[in-house]
Structure 1
Amino acid sequence: MIGFGRRRNLRPGEMFPAGDPAYRVSFPRLRSGIKIRVVERGDPSSPPILLVHGWGCSVYVFRRNMPALAAAGFRAIAIDLKGHGLSDKPLAANEYTVESLVEHLREILDALGLESPALAGHSLGGSLIYHFASRYPERARCLGMLSPVGLKGVALMWLYRFLTPGPLTPILRQINPRVIVKLALMRVYGKRGHFTKRDVAEYLAPSQHPEFSLAMRELLHHYDWNAADHLPLAIVNLPAAGVWGSLDHLMPHDGMAIYVPLVPQIVLRAIPDAGHIITEETPDEVNEELIALLHRAGF
């Protein structure tokens, strides 16, 4: 293996929530046959909010949000999307298009018995829940879009795709991404927090599965990150929150502006000095906005 160190990866049972009894972990199999990981916190009878992570992440990105949501009287449900975390990792390119991921999200709601939950998504998850609600508006109660990317592009996306061409696929299986994870975390944090060795270990853990890096490549190349240029965008008339960090280097400079006409009920908030990963860096502000959104939605 090409590597930058020989530290052992976290075993699945050591990954968040690592046996914490406050959480419930399950692995439902969807109609498509794909098995996903689901992590829940809060009373199962409470109003549900489904938390959807972004590219390369997992349920771990919501670890500082789930306790507050549960304490506020909600059922916080975080998922590993296909290709991520401890969920199955299909490698076909058509598994990672916008259309496929929208249907994947619908399958998840069906498998969990969620008729019309609140949806919150970070990064890619933010644009994904918009696409989902535009296709299935009756299946969402409200939208919490946290540093959303995927309608107006991602900074340096051309470079990320250039560095991961198809001929390099066999090499991707051999790379230990520890240093890449550290560099990525440095880029997504602002001035309000810092990442830890545990954070690096959690984000690195899925790489022990050889399919992970290949699935990430497929998502990088086949998700439509500039959907506003290629897809018809519908108006979604649901209560919504748009929250982002003022030092976000991944979102386009005017990245939230596109949502104002598309989601007329959206309430915007920029968090000063925060970067892209606001769920970790400024959880109190994010939790405040999500709980306010849930109340606006009538929960």
Structure 2
Amino acid sequence: MVNEKWITVNGKRVRLLQGGSGKSTLLFIHGLSFSADTWNECCLSYFEKKYEVYAVDMPYGPRSRSDHFERENENDYAEHLKAIVDALGILNPILIGASIGGETVLRYLALGYPASAAIVIGPVGVNRIDLVKIRKPVLGIWGSRDDVSPRYNADLLTRFGFKVVYIEGARHPAYLDNTEEFIKIVEGFLSEVGTAAITDS
């Protein structure tokens, strides 16, 4: 069961959901129209069986209850995420981000900040990120019917050597349209990169 937690980062109040336990930490970053609660409604109860999990309310979007701010620099949200990771004392999290949350994760990695791996679902703004600087395993997940983040973004990740998979029939929030398939894909990727595999209870 996850619990709500509030911390202060660089003078901004940040809301998080926290649960589970384990040697690895999964840190979930939501998309523009969603919030940390979206991950809780979707899949946190599954992942917390094996991992320590956090879902962060980011400073954007109408449903986030954290203090909001607009980006002045394209890396501002990634810098904010790094400050949250530092404040929580998380070492090398596995980052999972959707849409602008996926973009934030990719920027975080391109800045060289600590993580063990990342999963991005329909990330936007991929063409504005220096992907060559990313040295960690990354999996891209797209819905085959995604009309927000074009296939061009997926092709860019593939071109730079990152794995991309599609969830057939799913839209931009592919993890919501087919949560069971999303979990299965995440399990497989985490096994491939050497973290503990999740098993059905």
TM over 0.5: yes
Give the structure 1 partner of residue 145 of structure 2. Answer: 247
Secondary structure, in 3 states, of the residue corresponding to 1:64?
A: helix
CA contact (8 A) 1:149 1:255 kept: yes
Distance 1:141 1:93 in 2: 26
TM-score by length of 1: 0.60
Q: Could you tell me which amino acid in structure 1 is paired with residue 17 of structure 2? A: V
**Residue 147 (structure 1) aligned to one of 122, 125, 134:** 122
2:8 to 2, 9, 29: 29
Q: Does structure 2 conserve the Cα–Cα contact (< 8 Å) formed by 1:235 and 1:261?
A: no
Shift of 1:93: 5.2
Are 1:104 and 2:80 counterparts? yes
Q: Name which structure has the greater RCO, CA cutoff 8 Å, separation 6+.
A: 1
Asked if structure 2 preserves the Cα contact closer than 8 Å seen for 1:142 and 1:240, the reply is yes
Considering fraction of residues, name the structure with more helix: 1
Change (3 A) 1:285 1:104: same
Alignment partner, residue 75 of structure 1: 52
Between the two proteins, the alignment pairs up a number of residues equal to 192
Q: Which has the larger radius of gyration?
A: 1
CA shift, 1:233, in A, is 4.0
Residue 199 of structure 2 corresponds to: none
Unaligned runs of 5+ in 1: 1-21, 153-226
Q: Give the drift of 1:149.
A: 1.2
The answer to whether structure 1 residue 274 and structure 2 residue 170 are counterparts is yes
Task: State the one-letter code of the partner of 1:273.
Answer: G
- Structure 2 partner of 1:87: 66
CA contact (8 A) 1:121 1:127 kept: yes
50, 53, 72: which is aligned to 2:27?
50
Please identify which structure carries the higher strand content.
Answer: 2
Q: TM-score, normalised by structure 2?
A: 0.88
**Is the 2:100–2:124 contact (alpha carbons within 8 Å) kept by the matching residues of 1?**
yes
Following superposition, the deviation at residue 47 of structure 1 comes to 1.2
Unaligned runs of 5+ in 2: 196-201
State, as a whole percentage, how many aligned pairs show the same letter. Answer: 22
Q: CA RMSD in A?
A: 1.7
Pairing of 1:1-299 with structure 2 (within 5 A): 22-30=1-9, 32-43=10-21, 45-62=22-39, 63-71=41-49, 73-84=50-61, 85-90=64-69, 94=72, 97-137=73-113, 139-152=114-127, 227=128, 232-262=130-160, 264=161, 266-299=162-195
Q: For 1:292 and 1:246, locate their aligned partners in 2 and report how far apart those are by CA, in whole Å.
A: 19
Which runs of structure 1 show a deviation greater than 6 angstroms over 4 or more consecutive aligned residues? Answer: none
